[in-house]
Amino acid sequence: MPAATAEPQPFEFPPGYVMPLPTRPSKMDEDTLHPVRVPTPLPDLLPRSMKDIQKMRNLQSDGDTAKKYVPPRRDLPPPYKDRTKRMGHTYQLNGPSVEGDVTPVFENGLLFKVVTPDGSWYYYNDTDKYEMHVKFTFGAKSDLQPGEKVDMYVMSTSELSASLVVFPGETTKLVAGKINGFKCSAKAVPLNDDKRDILYGEVNDRIADDLMVMAQAIGVREDDLTEEKVLAYCEENEKPYIDCDFRPCDYSLYRADVDTYLPRFIPWHRPSTWIPEEQLKEVRLFRRDILPSQVTHGSIGDTYLVSAIAALTDASGDRLHDLFRHPVSAANGKIERALGAYWVTINFNGWWLPVLLDDFLPATRDGPEFARCAVDIRRMWVALLEKTYAKVHGSYANIASGDPLEPLSEFTGFPVTRYESFWEDAQGGDDMLFQEMLSYNRMGHLQVLCTPSDGGEAFGNANVVSANPELEATYEKMGLLLHHGYAVLQTEYFEDLDLRLLRVRNPWGNGSEWTGAWSKDDKRWSKYPSVRNACYRHGGSPTDADRTFWVEWSDALKIFSGGGCCHLRTPWFDYRARGEFAQGIPTVSFEVNVSAPTEAYITLSQEDERDDPSLEYHALLLSVFRHSGKKEKLDATSNSLVEKPDRQLKFNFSRDVAMKYTFLPEHSPYFVIPRIHDPSVTKPYVMGLLCDTYVGNGIKVEFKRVDRNCRVFANMPSFVQVGMMEDTAAEYQIRTPRQPIECIGEEIVDERLREFGILEE
């Protein structure tokens, strides 16, 4: 047994002892290893330039002095505050008109009781869209004097019953006197239209008066005002801009002669109404990152539109900023935004349309009533994008329900494929749809899956009471909302496991609500590391709180009721041409010649039936003929799958039909001919050509008018070009990052090619 060692004893230095300086090591000692402290930079500061090297030197110096690295200071806005505080409480409006001891009736405020120093009870309504119904039962021995607006009577039990209605912003007296016990109840009741008209009419009347004053100053009748005249006047006189085409008034909310859905009438306000004065300078279109979780739906049935907007935030490129680019310049945009004027460019009926807006929104002092950026309502882009959609479609009521794929197409200009027609087959075991989704994911397309409606109303109407509360509760447990769309970020197929997985974005949850197979804490992630590695090949882990969740395809088919794909590509080049079906015969077709293989999406659009109750969609078809021998032979037609055209003549009753097609030099010329099934119809249409290069760069596009006697219109698979094609002029459009360029000519001429020295004179 080894001998025990004595514990070391502390050594005491004698008084006045001075520790000698360390001596330089001998040559022998230099070969031995010594621990050395070296300040280590943060991983993201590894030197890549002389500037970074200087930072490293500073870090070395700072390390010697124990100074820690602090990231550079940035200019950041103050945090958003709803309202200033008075009497220890936060109010949305002006607060009670009497002083006293204040108590909130509801946890979130809204209604406050105020007891004044003389013992009187008052109630203050801090909302501008509810009337508060207050009811009390006081003890039999109470000695009370009711307020002027109180209904009070003696009950059979000798108790006193008192009821009071407090309107928005009012402070109303309930009782004064001796109180001997009480029971009470209070509820918030939405204002009816008559009371709303009384309360809000004055606000909207002031806006109308301002427009009338502008008309007088400009020197025109109010009905003759134009956006251009009003904007010029406002710029010259530094006046806030008011939209004279989509006026801040009840008619822009609901058109009694057109709309079927009736929203509640609310006033129109600028941001200064709901944002404190000291923070008005922080109002922005965008602020730093744009995230799906910033998008919140409102009290109108705009869930489908909000779903599309949230999905668009996941799109590659700069799509959202592109929508808001000023048609002329960023400098002009800054000047006009200071006046409350904004531009948004969207695709309407197939044609790119720059839309001018003011910053009036249907709103209360809580903020915008409809879609908005709830995390910070100083960010305006969500509410203004919805307002743009309402303006082009005539009113907010007219966009109260819909399909998220439609706004996705209108915001991007790209065609969509709908999954509903394949959903039942997929539920039965057909793998075609999932394989298509795999392909779309690889190409970077934007995919959305939709939860079902509850059966109470058309998709997206959030104001309708649920017709199926059990179904709604089931989806809530999964963290999902009915009649919403969810972006599909990733699709994976593991052949050895016969496993199909989807990664779904849930902007309105954190992703952990899903508790089925492959949920965040599912043991399968540990059991199958190859699956985990493939699903997180770009980083991250299943447990990340990233507002996404993985779901097996078999479960997705049960949870969702359909969806679709927006075939978004970046960067592609967008061209449009207008034509008309004259008794079924198109006035404009394309002749396409290429010198190299050229990919393109071809679209055909008719007017949206949403905007005119008398309109009905007619069955449309796109056909492509290529040169073969002495004839032009049918090579492709549009169908339900945009990426996979075929040769069948399947006319489709929808607003848009489209196909992807690759033009080859050896088969030029090509003829792209739009078709309508009813030969008696006369109606306008727009053809789109979205290709992988500029028109004029190895691709020539000319406009042709096809003779009505051409065999094409007899559904023949080929025709002879001689005598069947005539040159024609058409109105066409070139989508640029700013103002769409509109031209008239017999072929598409893109002036942007001049800077490359390609465009022929």
Residue entry with tokens 């079927």: 260
- Our answer to whether residue 510 is catalytic in this structure is no
State whether residue 333 is helix, strand or coil. Answer: helix
Sheet holding 499-505, edge to edge: 416-418, 562-566, 446-450, 485-494, 499-505, 548-552
**Which amino acid type is present at position 626?**
R
Angle 579-305-683 from CA coordinates, rounded to 5°: 20
Q: Could you give the CA distance from residue 686 to residue 229 in angstroms, rounded to a whole number? A: 30
> Which one is catalytic: 326, 445, 484, 567?
484
| Beta strands, E only, 495-597 | 499-505, 548-552, 562-566, 573-582, 585-586, 589-594
| Alpha-helical segments (H) within 653-733 | none
Q: Could you give the CA distance from residue 645 to residue 640 in angstroms, rounded to a whole number? A: 8
Q: Could you give the CA distance from residue 729 to residue 226 in angstroms, rounded to a whole number? A: 30
For 608, the token pair is: 């949206």
**Which amino acid type is present at position 99?**
E
Q: How distant is the alpha carbon of residue 167 from its chain centre?
A: 34
Q: Could you give the CA distance from residue 157 to residue 699 in angstroms, rounded to a whole number? A: 92
Instruction: Round the CA-based radius of gyration of the chain to a whole number and report it.
Output: 34
Cβ 576 vs Cβ 600: under 8 Å: no
Cβ 460 vs Cβ 302: under 8 Å: yes
- DSSP character at residue 553: H
- Which residues does 727 contact at the CB level (< 8 Å), separation at least 6? 702, 703, 704, 705, 746
Q: Could you give the CA distance from residue 274 to residue 93 in angstroms, rounded to a whole number? A: 9
| Crossing angle between the packed helical segments 420-427 and 432-442, to the nearest 10 degrees | 120
- Our answer to whether residue 506 is catalytic in this structure is yes
The overall longest dimension of the chain from CA atoms, in Å, is: 119
Cis peptide before 571 (omega within 30 of 0): yes
Cβ 180 vs Cβ 203: under 8 Å: no
| Crossing angle between the packed helical segments 405-412 and 381-392, to the nearest 10 degrees | 100
For 106, the token pair is: 């509801």
Tell me the β-bridge partners of 450. 485, 562
> Which one is catalytic: 204, 349, 461, 506?
506
Q: Could you give the CA distance from residue 40 to residue 588 in angstroms, rounded to a whole number? A: 68
Give the number of residues written for the chain.
Answer: 761
Q: Could you give the CA distance from residue 247 to residue 360 in angstroms, rounded to a whole number? A: 9
| Phi, psi values for residue 57, rounded to 5° | -65, -40
Cβ 182 vs Cβ 139: under 8 Å: yes
Cβ 676 vs Cβ 618: under 8 Å: yes
Residues noted as catalytic = 484, 506
